[in-house]
Structure 1
Amino acid sequence: MDLITLALAQEPADGIAGWAADLVDKMGGPGAGLAIALENLFPPLPGEVILPLTGFAAGQGVISLASALFWTTLGSVVGAAVLYWVGMLFGRERMYAIWGKLPLVKTSDLERTEAWFGKHGTKAVFFGRMVPIFRSLISVPAGLERMSMPLFLLLTALGSLIWNSILVMAGYWLGDQWDTVETYVGVLSKVVLVLVVLALVLYVAVRVRSRNSSAQHERSS
């Protein structure tokens, strides 16, 4: 019996889980690594499905647990490295040029962000690998700021290993209930997304208020 039949009692075989199960079935550990590399490049692909499913596959003997952890972590590093290069090739000058054309933002905002990343970038990359949504995005500013490539890869590998191990081991221990992991991580992802949206709304509101206050001050003077 193949992994798709074992794992997808409640999932459509042509969905993301079916696609990931088929990769693991055909390619083993490298298939899981490829799925996670693509998940890093295309965040809509749900790592909270792929990683527990890989753990389930390890529990069923389709691949070894060591292989599951090695290949998924390697896939995370490869995907992150591609995004790092995207950020590096895009460059600071182009970023500043685009930023300067955006409404409600100032160059000083970007300068402060760069200063913050220069001071806290190592922690941001390491812990960012364990935060839904930011797992992929954090690689781009690391490239923009040209963080040391060896340091970036080390931090990415360590952070990814911790996060991947949690989800892979959850799938391994939960067995045919591996898909419950998606529910809990999905809730965390939604909480993070809501917080990001609220932060953006607050930022825009402060900027609009500041602009209106400046306009009123100029008219009264």
Structure 2
Amino acid sequence: MENWIIDVMNSFGYIGIFILITLENVFPPIPSEVILTFGGFMTTTTNMSILGVIAISTFGSVAGAVILYSIGTLLDVERLEKIVERWGHILRLTEKDIHKANAWFNKFGSWAVFFGRLVPLIRSLISIPAGMAHMNVGRFLLLTTIGTIIWNTILVSAGAALGASWNDILGYFGTYSNIVYLILGVNLVIFMILFIRNRRKQ
């Protein structure tokens, strides 16, 4: 997949980045880390600019997020689980991925959209529970855009700074993702323990 992404970006430039980032948001297994860091590298070998790559990738991310938000407004958890059960092998998603995004949203509320945009996989899926909760569209777009700009700026700038060694950063993001998931898991366990204790006291 990485080679295909690179070929598309080399062939179509900004348009290729927009299409790939939009698809990455709708189909999370497409790695934004590859798209954005290689996009940053391309600013050192083509006439593309860092600001241009950040801008076009942000437009693509928000467009993809709006698509998933719209889908979320039509779904409930049970219906979503049935879709993943049937098509998850194609989308490369599991029910665990969906529950993780839903738990994130339930814990942080609308701010989960902002924080979620800074976590691989969650950054795409978080739009679905936001849609299911019928979160205010204006607030959704604002938090999505701000979180996306931060994420895109970090990765594009890193790709530009590393140059030909742009893919060195990909390994670090796997570690980063695992640490974030671990922290989220611990917080959820603590939340459940406190919730159960409060229920017992009542």
Q: Calculate the TM-score normalised by the size of structure 1.
A: 0.68
Tell whether 2:71 aligns with 1:86. Answer: yes
User: What does residue 141 of structure 1 align with?
Assistant: 129
Shift of 1:86: 1.2
Structure 2 unmatched runs, 5+:
81-101, 197-202
Secondary structure of the residue aligned to 2:51 is: helix
Partner of 2:33: 48
* Uncovered stretches (5+) of structure 1, i.e. residues with no partner: 1-14, 96-112, 211-221
Partner Cα distance (1:21, 1:94) in 2: 35
CA-atom RMSD, angstroms?
3.2
Task: Give the aligned residue type for 2:29.
Answer: P
Show the counterpart of 1:20.
Answer: 5
Give yes or no for contact 2:110–2:130 (8 Å, CA) kept in 1: no
In 1, the alpha carbon distance for the partners of 2:65 and 2:128 equals: 8
Higher RCO, 1 or 2 (CA under 8 Å, sep at least 6)? 2
User: Which digits, 9 at most, give the CA deviation of each residue in 1:101-141, with x for residues without a partner?
Assistant: xxxxxxxxxxxx89x84x94331111110112210121111
CA contact (8 A) 1:37 1:78 kept: yes
Task: Verify: 1:67 aligned to 2:52, yes or no.
Answer: yes
Residues 49-72 of structure 1, C-alpha deviation per residue, up to 9 Å, x if partnerless?
111000001121242222201111
**Larger-Rg structure:** 1
1:152 matched residue in structure 2: 140
Question: CA 1:177 to 1:161, structure 2 compared with 1: closer, same or farther past 3 Å?
Answer: same
Which AA in structure 2 matches 1:90? L
Distance 2:176 2:55 in 1: 25
Aligned residues: 174
In structure 1, the partner of 2:61 is 76
Query: Shift of residue 189 of structure 1?
Result: 1.8
**2:111 is the counterpart of 1:123:** yes
1:161 aligned residue: 149
- 1:60 alignment partner, SS class: coil
Instruction: Give aligned-pair identity as a percent.
Output: 42
Question: Which secondary structure does the structure 2 equivalent of 1:28 belong to?
Answer: helix
Q: In the TM superposition, what whole-angstrom CA distance separates every residue of 1:138-161 from its partner, at most 9, and x where no partner exists?
A: 111110111111221121111000
Question: Hey, what's the Cα distance between the residues in 1 that align with 2:174 and 2:159?
Answer: 15
CA distance in 1, matches of 2:46, 2:16: 15
Cα displacement (A) at 1:80: 0.9
